[in-house]
Structure 1
Amino acid sequence: MKVACVGGGPAGLYLSILLKLRDPSHEITVHERDAAGSTYGWGVTYWAGLLDQLRRHDPVSARAIGEQSVRWSDGLAHVRDRTTLHHGDEGFGIGRRTLLRILAERAESLGVRVEFRHPVTATTTLTGADLIVAGDGANSALRDRHADHFGTDVAVGRNQYIWLGTTKVFDAFTFAFVETEHGWIWAYGYRYGENHSTCVVECSPGTWQGLGLDRANHDDTLTLLQHLFAGPLDGHPLMGRARSDGGARWLNFRTVTNRTWYRDNLVLLGDAAHTTHYSIGAGTTLALEDAIALAGALHERDMPHLQPALARYERERRAALVPTQSAARFSARWYENLPRYINLDPAEMFALLGQRHSPLLPYVPPQLYYRIDRAAGRLEALRRLKRWLGPRLARTVGGVSTVAGVSAGADRGRGSRPAPPRTPGDPSGR
Structure 2
Amino acid sequence: MGGGPAGLYFSISAKLRDAGHEIVVIERDPPEATYGWGVVYWNDLLDILHRNDPESARAVSAHSVLWQDQEIRVHGSRHDGTAYFGGYGYSLGRAALLDILTRRARSLGVDVRHETLADPADLPDADLIVACDGAGSRIRQSRAEHFGTRIETGRNPYIWLGTDRQFDSFVFDFEETPAGWIWFHAYPSFQGISTCIVECSPQTWHGLGLDTLDSEDAVPLLEKIFHRALDGHSLISRSRGEPAKWQRFQHISNRTWVDGNVVLAGDAAHTTHFTLGSGTRLAMIDAMVLAHALAEFPDPQVALREYDQHRRAELHGTQAGARSSMAWFERLDDYLDRDPVSFAYAMSVRQGHQSPWRYQVHLATQIPAVRRARRAYDTGKRWYRDRRRGEAPLPLLGRSLPGRK
2: CA distance, partners of 1:345 / 1:145 = 49
Task: Please name the residue that 1:219 is paired with.
Answer: 216
Which of 275, 281, 285 in structure 1 is aligned with 2:271?
275
Identity of aligned residues (%): 48
Which of 84, 105, 118 in structure 1 is aligned with 2:103?
105
Task: Please name the residue that 2:253 is paired with.
Answer: 257
Cα displacement string for residues 93-142 of structure 1 (whole angstroms, at most 9, x for unaligned residues): 11000000000000000000000001223263402x10000000011111
Task: Please name the residue that 1:198 is paired with.
Answer: 195
2: CA distance, partners of 1:110 / 1:163 = 33
TM-score (norm 2): 0.85
SS, match of residue 247 in structure 2 = coil
Task: Please name the residue that 1:388 is paired with.
Answer: none
Task: Please name the residue that 1:40 is paired with.
Answer: 35
Note if contact 2:345-2:359 (Cα within 8 Å) is conserved in structure 1: no
RMSD between aligned alpha carbons?
A: 2.0
1: CA distance, partners of 2:330 / 2:8 = 34
Cα displacement string for residues 184-238 of structure 1 (whole angstroms, at most 9, x for unaligned residues): 1000110011110000000011110010000011332001000000011111111
2: CA distance, partners of 1:174 / 1:269 = 30
- Aligned pairs for 1:24-63 (under 5 A) are 24-63=19-58
Note if contact 1:73-1:90 (Cα within 8 Å) is conserved in structure 2: yes
- Aligned pairs for 1:318-333 (under 5 A) are 318-333=312-327
SS, match of residue 124 in structure 1 = coil
- Aligned pairs for 1:391-402 (under 5 A) are none
Greater than 3 Å deviation, 4+ residue runs: 375-378
Note if contact 1:330-1:359 (Cα within 8 Å) is conserved in structure 2: no
Which of 228, 231, 236 in structure 2 is aligned with 1:231?
228
1: CA distance, partners of 2:213 / 2:243 = 7
2: CA distance, partners of 1:248 / 1:287 = 22
Deviates more, 1:52-61 or 1:137-146: 137-146
Instruction: Give the deviation of 1:86 after TM superposition.
Output: 2.2
Task: Please name the residue that 2:300 is paired with.
Answer: 306
Deviates more, 1:156-165 or 1:344-353: 344-353
Q: Mark the runs of 5 or more structure 2 residues left unpaired by the alignment.
A: 364-405
Cα displacement string for residues 266-290 of structure 1 (whole angstroms, at most 9, x for unaligned residues): 0000000000111110000000010
Aligned pair count reads 359
Q: Is 2:129 aligned against 1:135?
A: no
Instruction: Give the deviation of 1:80 after TM superposition.
Output: 0.8
Instruction: Give the deviation of 1:318 after TM superposition.
Output: 1.1
2: CA distance, partners of 1:287 / 1:248 = 22
SS, match of residue 129 in structure 2 = strand
Q: Mark the runs of 5 or more structure 1 residues left unpaired by the alignment.
A: 1-5, 361-368, 379-430
SS, match of residue 159 in structure 1 = strand
TM-score (norm 1): 0.80
1: CA distance, partners of 2:69 / 2:361 = 22
One-letter code aligned to 1:24: A
Instruction: Give the deviation of 1:83 after TM superposition.
Output: 3.2
SS, match of residue 34 in structure 2 = coil
Task: Please name the residue that 2:181 is paired with.
Answer: 184
